[in-house]
A and B are shown apart, each in its own frame.
Chain A
Amino acid sequence: MTEFLANESAGPHKAPNAAADTLPKEELWRADLYDLLAALLARPPSGELLAGLARLEGDRQTEIGRHIGALARLASATGEKAAEREYNALFIGLGRGELLAFASFYLTGFLNEQPLARLRRDMARLGIAREEDVHEPEDNIATLCEIMAGLIRGRFGAPATASAQREFFTTHLEPWAEHFFTDLEKAGAAVLYAPVGSLGRAFMKLEAHTFRMIG
Chain B
Amino acid sequence: MAERKTEATRRDFLKLAGVSAPGAVSALAMSAGAAGAADAEEMSSGTGLRSTEHVLKYLETARY
Contact = CB atoms under 8 A, between A and B. Distances in A.
Contact of A13 (B17, B21, B29, B60): B21
Interface string B28-58: 1110000110111011111111111011101
A155 interface: yes
B43 A154 contact: yes
A23 B48 contact: yes
Interface residues of A, number: 76
Contacts of B26: 13-14, 128-129, 131, 155-156
Contacts of A13: 20-23, 26
Interface stretch (A86-94, A110-118, A144-152, A170-178): A144-152
B52 A214 contact: yes
A214 B61 CA distance: 16
Q: Which of B25, B60, B61 has the most CB of A within 10 A?
A: B25
Given A13-B22, A14-B26, A142-B22, 4 more contacts: A56-B13, A59-B10, A123-B28, A127-B30
